[in-house]
Amino acid sequence: MPDLSKYSKILSEYFINSRNILLISHINPDGDAIGSQLALHHYLKSRNIKADMITPNNLQEFLKWMEGSELINIFIRQRDKCKRLIERADLIVMVDFNQPDRLGDMETLVAGSTAFKVIIDHHLNPRGFADIELSDPTFSSTSELVHEFVTLMNGSPFYSKPYSEALYVGIVTDTGNFEHGTYTSRTFKIVADFLEKGIEKERILDLLFSNFSENRLRLQGFALNERMVVLNEYQTAYIWLTKADLAAHKYVKGDTEGFVNLPLSIKGIIFSAFFVEKNGFVKLSFRSKGNFPSNEFASEFFSGGGHMNASGGEYSDTLENSIEYFLKVLKENFSRLNGEK
């Protein structure tokens, strides 16, 4: 566990003395990535410290209401501007990832930057490509870790409406509205403080979880009715979607958010997988209950990783072969991973 008190003093000095600060979130940014990125931006702005923001690709629609999201530069759409921001940066802070390939097409540019680099993250096994790595998996989310870090830099808890809303978004999305993850009493105390300061919980939850299109809802129904397979013997269920399935339902980015969690509501199911066909590979998401280590399954067999109960990976083959391989390794390793003798 990193010494947050020590590093808060170091980074506070860097924030004060740096001329070109850049905040970067990961490819396919989720609520925690954007929430922690925006929260840092809002805190620095309150200190009259300017910081630019970049994300490798587009934000999901349900996050675009967040204050300051319009200021985030999208690398795939603004390559020249983003390249200039990276080249001139003297401090780069990366949030919610600890593997360089999560930078997408920006990886080479960021790696080649002479800026002082910092990672703030809550995932396991940081790769070691920054000068300071604040990676602590005991936090529910990077957003919770950012709040702890900002509190230390500020000398007391910092609050503003956009800052608190951004962190609340990060916490509730990364825990599935407190249905999974490593949240603790500390997490709830932070959220309670945000509520006491006046964030509109119902409005935010509605924007995050009850703001879907008709096409998205029909896709969910199709996925559950036509593409879900339940393996009771292995306490596992999985959902798969082809590119044609997505096209038929006029898929837009973010429409499948949360689908991987749905099978876990079935009695007796402790492990869920979600397969999405891509060009030349298959993207997989995993969720689990209790002590079943979805992250170990992801890292051992699908070049991925994450947290015990929430992880993901990829498989460079057809969708059919990916599912066949998944079933093979599941049947061979379920008992071991589930702690059975």
Helix 142-154 vs helix 161-174: angle between axes, to the nearest 10 degrees? 150
Instruction: Give backbone dihedrals phi and psi of 94, rounded to 5 degrees, phi first.
Output: -110, 130
**Residue 93 confidence (pLDDT) above 90:** yes
> Other CB atoms closer than 10 Å to residue 290's CB: what's the count?
11
pLDDT at 1: 65
- Domain made up of 214-337: CATH architecture: Roll (3.10)
Sign, Cα dihedral of 44, 183, 306, 263: negative
Write down the pLDDT at residue 46: 98
- DSSP letter at 19 equals S
Task: Band the pLDDT of 205: cuts 50, 70, 90.
Answer: very high
DSSP-derived secondary structure letter, 322? H
Question: What's the rounded mean pLDDT across residues 38-65?
Answer: 97
- Confidence category of residue 176, pLDDT binned at 50, 70, 90: confident
Q: Which residues are CB-contacts of 121 (< 8 A; sequence separation ≥ 6)?
A: 94, 95, 96, 97, 98, 133, 134, 135, 136, 142, 145
Per the prediction, the chain carries an average pLDDT of 95
Q: Which helix (H) or strand (E) holds 55?
A: strand 51-55
H helix intervals, 47-92: 79-88
What pLDDT score was predicted for residue 277?
A: 98
Residue 72 near residue 57 (C-beta atoms within 8 A): no
Pairing relation of β-strands 132-135 and 310-315? unpaired
Using DSSP's 3-state secondary structure scheme, residue 92 falls into: strand
Burial of 240 (0-12, 13-18, 19+ CB in 10 A): buried
What is the average per-residue pLDDT within 287-299?
Answer: 94
The CATH number of 4-209, from 3.30.70.600, 3.90.480.20, 3.40.50.360, 3.90.1640.10, is 3.90.1640.10
Instruction: Map out the domains of the chain as residue ranges.
Output: 4-209, 214-337
State how far the Cα of 243 lies from the Cα of 279, in Å rounded to an integer. 9
CA distances from 312 to 57, 143, 244, 298 (A): 19, 20, 22, 6
Identify the pLDDT of residue 179.
Answer: 81
Structure tokens at 199: 């964030």
The first and second tokens of residue 189, run together, are 């105390």
Q: Say what the pLDDT of residue 341 is.
A: 57
pLDDT of residue 125: 77
Residue keyed to tokens 């309670």: 192
pLDDT mean over 243-251: 97
**For 92-99, what is the mean pLDDT?**
95
pLDDT of 220: 98
